[in-house]
Structure 1
């Protein structure tokens, strides 16, 4: 990769890591549904000037509801209900484990031996983290948070079907498709008056966090990441995502004084190590489907 593109890849990872901190701050003023809706509402602004990409509405909705709505709403709920920000950033990246598992079912892409080693290591790390659940946050919050990497993984696979369309246009319309039902959910769950009050009484800090989440972390960062995936093999780009949980955990420890017990810290490191083995191994071999 060119040095400038390496810098961009690192920058995107740092932006995504810091986004977990911004989400936690914004959730002090907004409900999970409203915060997520506002995030995608801001990121959908380019839809005013870019046309809908040439993909079917059914595919657009399917990608949006998994890659964006499901992933980020579950994240917001988990953080709002006490799951530490640093831990959340690690759990979300376990999507690599689920992506490999779902690819076996959907595309018969069997993992290589090294990828199986990585899956095993990451799974052990998740079990170690599960053993710490219930002390400082509820089992229910953790269960909802686990929807995030699962939705992320499904969205990754669905995204393969949107080939040959402008990446920026696609992500803008994915954001719009997620924002509309999320605003409806916020109105239904929070009520019109509380929703309006939260939006009109947002502090400058909350507004800055939402602009950073919508315009920078979602719109710009995803566009840059898409360009990198377009210009380079995924094996060169995707490993940079390993920086995200480290940035998220480090930033959370500084901003919120977040600390991790020995078992949870060991589990987090184990998950990231397993993901590293998965991402740095060779591509899985695709087994053709035999039609009798």
Structure 2
């Protein structure tokens, strides 16, 4: 890779890692489901008018929109609102690589290699250590919600592979149109119209900036730049940069939110990142079908 392309890959990882800290700040301004709805609303508008018509069938856009947008991000935002630390969330969410491999085996018949199975085991040990560490400092229910979010992300990855979108940015923008109304409806039902209206009436520059960051910087720029890199370099060259996401996530949370990182959490980080590396980056048996290409485009987007 050219130095400029390496810098871009690191920048995307940094943007995605810092995103968890930004989400934590945003949850101080909005209820979690309303915040998630605003994220997708701003990501979709006005970008949907500039990316062209959808390039895959609507059934895939709706399916990924519901699983990724409503389920994954809804669970993640609720889990973080319930007490899951931003830095730890950026780490634990990477277990999506294990869920992706398991669901791909069940749905697509992609049998993982022994090395990948070993990687899954190492990553799960890392999650176990992280759970033990979180159990001494925070609510395990919130931890479980983030694990569930990672499982939904894994399912959305497999759905995206089946969809085979030729343009990752076009696909993500159209996917962003789907979760807005379901998330708004769930927010009105569970968080209440009075709480939602109070959050919108109290909107200030910081709250607006948070929404712009998670929508345009993380989603539109992040996906666009990542897809651009994947169209110019092999996935095995680009994908390792996604392992920097929890590094930036935990570092920014420690710097801006004052989150501490215990020795046990560092050990969990080493195990989880190492396991995800084995699971995601070691080549598996090749399958010749049209879904191979977009599988590359789904490596690394965290939140």
Whether TM exceeds 0.5 here: the answer is: yes
SS at match of 1:241: helix
**Are the equivalent residues in 2 in contact too, given 1:81–1:137 (CA < 8 A)?**
no
Distance 1:157 1:227 in 2: 21
Distance 2:130 2:194 in 1: 39
Offset of 1:61 from its aligned partner?
Answer: 1.2
Give the equivalent residue in structure 2 for 1:169. Answer: 170
| Structure 1 residue 219 corresponds to structure 2 residue 220 | yes
Distance 2:250 2:77 in 1: 16
Distance 1:189 1:50 in 2: 34
Q: Would the alpha carbon gap of residues 68 and 6 (structure 1) be closer, same or farther in structure 2, given more than 3 Å must change?
A: farther
Give the equivalent residue in structure 1 for 2:109. Answer: 108
Distance 1:80 1:116 in 2: 33
Give the equivalent residue in structure 2 for 1:27. Answer: 27
Between stretches 141-150 and 129-138, larger displacement belongs to 129-138
Give the equivalent residue in structure 2 for 1:156. Answer: 157
Distance 1:226 1:157 in 2: 17
The count of residues paired between Structure 1 and Structure 2 equals 288
With the length of structure 1 as denominator, give the TM-score of the two structures: 0.92
**Are the equivalent residues in 1 in contact too, given 2:87–2:249 (CA < 8 A)?**
yes
Between stretches 70-79 and 47-56, larger displacement belongs to 47-56
Q: Would the alpha carbon gap of residues 140 and 173 (structure 1) be closer, same or farther in structure 2, given more than 3 Å must change?
A: same
Between stretches 230-239 and 211-220, larger displacement belongs to 230-239
Where does the alignment leave 5 or more consecutive residues of structure 1 unmatched? none
Give the equivalent residue in structure 2 for 1:145. Answer: 146
**Are the equivalent residues in 2 in contact too, given 1:15–1:221 (CA < 8 A)?**
yes
Distance 2:168 2:97 in 1: 21
Where does the alignment leave 5 or more consecutive residues of structure 2 unmatched? 290-303
**Are the equivalent residues in 1 in contact too, given 2:43–2:220 (CA < 8 A)?**
yes
Distance 2:175 2:288 in 1: 31
Q: Would the alpha carbon gap of residues 193 and 51 (structure 1) be closer, same or farther in structure 2, given more than 3 Å must change?
A: farther
With the length of structure 2 as denominator, give the TM-score of the two structures: 0.89
